[in-house]
Amino acid sequence: MARGPAGLARRLRRRSPPRPEHFLDRMVENVSHGRFERSLSALTAGAALVTGAEIFLEHDSASFGNKMMWTPVAITPIGMAAGVAGFFSKRYAKTLLPIASAMIVINGLQGTYLHIRGVAQRPGGWSLPRYNVEMGPPLFAPLLFTVVGGMGLLAAILRREEL
């Protein structure tokens, strides 16, 4: 190890810059360095809650006519619990959160297929696209659920930040 002024200069250059003082500055620094796991885990839990409530209300208004309508309602609490657990524990963020998020993504893609099929099964099917798309099952709503799962998968990939 070099001593003297040259060694001191090298050691000073290797030190990391001081952490920003304000919370928002720390968050920007964490995002820019790919450390966003805890925040995105919490956002996944919150988005699962809101999206799951919307899914429940919409499927309830359709009287849960198809048994498959229950699957996103059943998966939502699992996604919320995994998001909360991922916020508090790195281990859960790397194990439970990606599994729950993958289930949500798969279910969202399945829901998109079922909604497209639902529009096709309406009287007139795709020959009356404007009417059936507006009055039938919402085509893009299941993709919102897929985005929630994608957020959880992304959170599992990112590095953990310090809040």
Residues 6+ apart with CB under 8 A from 132: 119, 122, 124, 125, 126
Per the structure, the complete domain to which residue 48 belongs is given by 34-157
Q: Is residue 149 part of a domain?
A: yes
Total domains in the fold of the chain: 1
Q: Is residue 9 part of a domain?
A: no
Q: Is residue 162 part of a domain?
A: no
Q: Is the pTM here over 0.85, yes or no?
A: no
Length of the chain: 163
* 142 has pLDDT over 90: yes
| Arithmetic mean of pLDDT, 15-44 | 79
What are the tens digits of pLDDT across the range 61-113?
999 999 999 999 999 999 999 999 999 999 999 999 999 999 999 999 999 99
Q: Is residue 20 part of a domain?
A: no
Q: How far apart are CA 89 and CA 27, in angstroms?
A: 19
Q: Is residue 71 part of a domain?
A: yes
What are the tens digits of pLDDT across the range 101-117?
999 999 999 999 999 99
